[in-house]
Amino acid sequence: MTQTSDPGNPGTPSTPEDTGAGVRTSGAGVRPSGAEVRTSGAGVRTSGAGTRAAAIPDALKRRVPRYSDLAPLMQFKKPEFSRAAKLRRASTIWDLRDLAKRRTPQAPFDYTDGAAEAEITLRRARQAFLDIEFRPGILRDVSRIDLGTEILGKPSRLPVGIAPTGFTRMMQSEGEYAGSQAAAAAGIPYTLSTMGTASIEDVAAAAPEGRNWFQLYLWTDRDRSLELIERAARAGNDTLLVTVDTAVAGARLRDVRNGMTIPPALTLKTVLDASYRPAWWFNFLTHEPLAFASLSRYAGTVADLINSMFDPTLTFADLDWLRETWKGNLVVKGIQTVEDARRVVDHGADGVVLSNHGGRQLDRAPIPFHLLPGVSAALKADHSDAAVILDTGIMSGADIIAALALGADFTLIGRAYLYGLMAGGRAGVDRAVEILETDMLRTMALLGVSRISELTPDHVRVLPR
């Protein structure tokens, strides 16, 4: 049998008759080089030699668009510039941070956003959550996700609460009232700081249905500490968080460079800054003057206040005194080693908060997320039921789920909710909690778990660096 070559591909032999392609050669077995190419009315291309090519689908033929085709695509919306619309468009905590930065003067924003010295600790804390790999399970029924948990003897609708933050009304005039009310609406705990700008009693009145905790700095003046403890108990706070990582103030260089004072001073720089944020200054100047509601009025820098008020002589004996004095849940905040976690539990603590103060005290401090597995394992080995709570670095619901998987019983957010507060007051805090809840629901479903209790260390792998 004589073989011929395809002119378009000389290296490919062909037979005199290729029935599979429907191509017939001439008597000489060679396709004429000058074969005419024709197109039928149906859009099928054929050659003069009878070769049949692929038809052009109707969907790929060009035509003039009809209005009925364009109408569904033309959904022009009226531009929305309201605060509520901007909050709705925020999809992440980082989006809220961007809004907060635009709305808040530099000094208050930097007080929230910044950390100590070179801010290495804060960057590492956030990086720790990025350096993980989730390990999902498949073919699980995740049609219903339950984010509820129990912390320190009471239920919480979400595995996250609001951490204590000082000077909160400086960030936005609604301050602690917005935080406590948003927490109550979300069914999660709210923690008021000793250095808050709303009193214990006022916060309790603003969120009567909420679960309120109180954070305590032990002063050199024990009588004043005792007074605060008694006020917290009378106001219905069921948990006392004592912070132990502020023997002296950290070097918060952004505050130093901004000349940060409480209340903010009206200098030429702040006046110029205010011209870009008139709403913040209007709210600040037309509401009750900023003051430490649990303290007497104080004028000076934050560092001076901390250094003059806090007690660098604190020991475990003081923790024993607190345990005898406070009858509710006692939690020690600022734990940064496994040994100290064990020791405070031995001295009567009902829980520990693994925290380096948001990176605002000792730069290059241990990262709570890295510390978490060791502390959890150690307390379980001691047959302790003390709660393990984690803060620092949390910026998404996925961060929270990762912490729970590696052994945390609960988490706290500080900056994440303050970004929402600065972005939009109470509505901004609500949005921050909503973003975190949405993140958690999605992460749980994609991991293949429907309840917090199903999370295990097998769901997370810490990637080597």
pLDDT of residue 279: 87
Residues near 234 by beta carbon (within 8 Å), at least 6 away in sequence: none
Pairing between strand 410-413 and 387-390? parallel
Sign of the Cα torsion 99, 105, 106, 108 reads: negative
Residues near 112 by beta carbon (within 8 Å), at least 6 away in sequence: 100, 165, 171, 415, 418, 419, 422
Phi-psi region of 44 (alpha: psi -120 to 50; beta: other; left: phi over 0): beta
- DSSP secondary structure letter of residue 66: P
pLDDT of residue 218: 83
Residues near 87 by beta carbon (within 8 Å), at least 6 away in sequence: 96, 99, 423, 424, 427, 428, 431
- DSSP secondary structure letter of residue 72: G
C-beta separation of 385 from 424 below 8 A: no
| Backbone angles phi and psi of 205, in degrees to 5 | -70, -35
pLDDT tens-digit map of 187-203:
999 999 998 999 999 99
Residues near 107 by beta carbon (within 8 Å), at least 6 away in sequence: 255, 258, 259, 260, 264, 270, 273
pLDDT tens-digit map of 390-446:
999 999 999 999 999 999 999 999 999 999 999 999 999 999 999 999 999 999 999
Q: What is the pTM of this model?
A: 0.83
- DSSP secondary structure letter of residue 219: B
pLDDT of residue 33: 47
What is the C-alpha to C-alpha distance for residues 401 and 326, in angstroms, rounded to an integer?
32
Q: Which helix (H) or strand (E) holds 460?
A: strand 460-462
pLDDT of residue 41: 47
C-beta separation of 262 from 308 below 8 A: no
Active site residue 383: no
137: number of Cβ within 10 Å: 13
Residues near 344 by beta carbon (within 8 Å), at least 6 away in sequence: 316, 319, 332, 335, 352
When the pLDDT of each residue in the chain is averaged and rounded to a whole number, the result is: 86
SS3 state of residue 162:
strand
Residue in the block written with tokens 């070179």: 118
pLDDT of residue 294: 64
pLDDT tens-digit map of 70-94:
878 777 777 777 889 999 999 999 9
Q: Provide the token pair at 82.
A: 């309201």
Dihedral angle of Cα 355, 357, 362, 366, to the nearest 10 degrees: 20
What is the C-alpha to C-alpha distance for residues 164 and 185, in angstroms, rounded to an integer?
18
pLDDT tens-digit map of 375-401:
999 999 999 999 999 999 999 999 999
Task: Using alpha carbons, select from 178, 107, 122, 156 the residue that is nearest to residue 452.
Answer: 156
pLDDT tens-digit map of 315-334:
999 999 999 999 999 999 99
What is the C-alpha to C-alpha distance for residues 147 and 449, in angstroms, rounded to an integer?
10
56: number of Cβ within 10 Å: 13
287, 347, 357, 370: the active-site residue: 357
What is the C-alpha to C-alpha distance for residues 406 and 150, in angstroms, rounded to an integer?
17
What is the C-alpha to C-alpha distance for residues 237 and 152, in angstroms, rounded to an integer?
12
Task: Using alpha carbons, select from 204, 193, 184 the residue that is nearest to residue 163.
Answer: 193
